[in-house]
């Protein structure tokens, strides 16, 4: 799947989530950036499928190579050597680096082992790490997709949902703070 289109239940669900993200970002005045590795720009494609996204979406870094993670996103080489490129610390550093490089309020990162080779017993093909970093908020998670490899949608869709969830959490925290403050 390159671009969302009419007719697919999955694609319709993705478009709905993108619309919700847009509404949340515009409501709060937030901007978004991405750091993608194994998804190769698919998240960006989904977001850019809607008109007017430049009101909140600043851009993305597709950092498939370690050198790009380190030079553009400022992921420390020691971190990738210690934990591997597919790890929670590297996903967090990628999102933080995207926030810095793009100057956005929120950044989402996704890094994983797309396969069909490259996996290990500790990190099999299909292992994907996600991070969402925003103002005073971080959320990192890891999933192993049983199909493993080749399906960028399996990696990108949870990242989009994680970001939506993180924005909702931040919005609830802000509302609670106003009520208590």
Assign 16 to helix, strand or coil.
Answer: helix
Rounded CA gap, 76 and 74, in Å? 6
Band of pLDDT at residue 162, cut at 50, 70 and 90: low
Q: Is 1 helix (H, G, I), strand (E, B) or coil?
A: coil
Among the residue ranges 3-12, 29-38, 54-63, 142-151, the one predicted with the least confidence is: 3-12
Q: Using pLDDT thresholds of 50, 70 and 90, give the confidence band for residue 10.
A: low
Q: Can you tell me the mean pLDDT for 126-130?
A: 88
From CA 139, how far away is CA 161, in angstroms rounded? 12
DSSP state of 115: S
pLDDT digits over 49-79, tens only? Answer: 888 899 999 999 999 999 999 999 999 999 9
CB atoms within 10 A of CB 58: 19
Mention the CATH class of domain 9-176.
alpha beta
Burial of 29 by CB count in 10 Å (0-12 exposed, 13-18 middle, 19+ buried)? exposed
Going from the C-alpha of 178 to that of each of 39, 56, 110, 181, the distances in angstroms are: 38, 24, 32, 5
- What is the per-residue DSSP string for 152-172? HHHHHHHHHHHHHHHHHHHHH
Mean pLDDT across the chain: 81
Give φ, ψ of 132 to 5 degrees.
-125, 125
Report angle CA 152, 155, 160 to the nearest 5 degrees.
115
**Has residue 126 got a pLDDT over 90?**
no
C-alpha span between 34 and 109 (Å, rounded): 6
Give the model's confidence band at 15: pLDDT under 50 very low, under 70 low, under 90 confident, else very high: confident
On the question of pLDDT at 176 being above 60, the answer is no
Q: Which residue has the tokens 């989402």?
A: 108
């Amino acid at each position: 799947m390159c671009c969302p289109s009419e007719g697919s239940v999955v694609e319709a669900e993705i478009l709905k989530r993108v619309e919700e993200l847009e509404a949340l970002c515009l409501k709060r005045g937030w901007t978004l950036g991405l750091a993608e590795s194994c998804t190769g720009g698919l998240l960006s494609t989904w977001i850019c499928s809607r008109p007017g996204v430049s009101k909140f979406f600043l851009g993305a870094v597709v950092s498939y190579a370690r050198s790009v993670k380190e030079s553009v996103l400022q992921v420390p080489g020691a971190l990738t050597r210690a934990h591997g490129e597919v790890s929670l610390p590297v996903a967090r550093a990628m999102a933080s680096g995207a926030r810095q490089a793009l100057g956005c309020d929120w950044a989402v990162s996704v890094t994983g082992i797309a396969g069909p080779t490259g996996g290990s017993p500790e990190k099999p093909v299909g292992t994907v790490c996600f991070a969402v970093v925003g103002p005073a908020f971080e959320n990192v998670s890891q999933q192993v997709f049983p199909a493993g490899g080749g399906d960028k949608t399996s990696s990108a869709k949870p990242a989009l949902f994680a970001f939506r969830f993180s924005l909702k959490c931040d919005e609830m925290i802000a509302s609670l703070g106003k009520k208590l403050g």
